[in-house]
Amino acid sequence: MILFHTSNTLLKICNRRAIKKWISNVLKTYGKQAGDIGIIFCNSEYMLQLNKKYLNH
């Protein structure tokens, strides 16, 4: 499953289906299959919070 998330940004994601299909096609090219993929569009401060929380840096 490929999910898109936005936080602290005004970015609008267009053509989600086309992007998901493209990602799946790239993975198939390499003989892989999508598991759970989360794509987050956010500002630097939010990304830093995620890094500290989940990656301990």
Domain residue ranges in the chain: 2-55
Q: What is the pLDDT of residue 34?
A: 85
Q: Determine the distance from the C-alpha atom of residue 16 to the mean position of all C-alpha atoms in its chain, rounded to a whole number.
A: 11
Cβ atoms of 16 and 4 closer than 8 Å: yes
| Ranges of the chain whose pLDDT falls below 50 | none
Could you tell me which of 36, 39, 16 has the C-alpha nearest to residue 50?
A: 39
Question: Whole-angstrom Cα distance, residue 12 to residue 49?
Answer: 22
38 has which bridge partners? 3
